[in-house]
Chain A
Amino acid sequence: ILNVEQSPQSLHVQEGDSTNFTCSFPSSNFYALHWYRWETAKSPEALFVMTLNGDEKKKGRISATLNTKEGYSYLYIKGSQPEDSATYLCAYFSGSARQLTFGSGTQLTVLP
């Protein structure tokens, strides 16, 4: 079983604050690192799929970086809004296993 760790488990920030979360994963046999956004009572939706060391991806106020050599990825949210409140999941795709292994997520609450 591959170990994918996310921190912190939960986070409360004020509207307008910027924040970031960490995902750590095995650095061997890396194929891809996914980030998903999961709102309560909905299904997870993909934010980013990252495959190359040093990758940086951006979607609006959300961005992510990837370091495959040391096995971590950061997700950043700039100027958090209440609608950003959700659980953010990362998932590691191993080439040998052909399956995604998810972390347990970071639950973000943005207070107005």
Chain B
Amino acid sequence: NAGVTQTPKFQVLKTGQSMTLQCAQDMNHEYMSWYRQDPGMGLRLIHYSVGAGITDQGEVPNGYNVSRSTTEDFPLRLLSAAPSQTSVYFCASSPWGKRGDTQYFGPGTRLTVL
């Protein structure tokens, strides 16, 4: 099992550009989520999904879109990048979020917006 994979590992964007951060898991997990990590602020939830076709907003959803067309994939789209979106992004999955199962994290994507 590869676990949770994320691409790219690093990305530099200019303000206003759009891009998609990819996340995939091969553990047949129902629950997937995206977090951003900023200094002194821990991990903040952007969006999450409890299964294919179902997504919901987390704490900081503005400027991001997600979709979940398959169980395996959960891409995060930045519609029009802003310097405030400079951060490290982590994707995570867990068997089922109903009881708060252990989350398995991907390696992260470091994004810089100039």
Contact = CB atoms under 8 A, between A and B. Distances in A.
A20 interface: no
Contacts of A22: none
Interface residues of A, number: 23
A49 B45 CA distance: 18
> Interface size for chain B: under 10, 10 to 19, 20 to 34, or 35 or more residues?
20 to 34
Given A32-B99, A32-B100, A43-B105, A100 B45 contact: yes
B77 to A, nearest CB: 20
Contacts of B68: none
Interface of B: 33, 35, 40-45, 48, 50, 56, 58-59, 90, 97-108
Given A98-B48, A98-B97, A101-B45, 8 more contacts: A42-B107, A51-B99, A91-B43, A93-B97, A93-B100, A98-B98, A100-B100, A101-B59
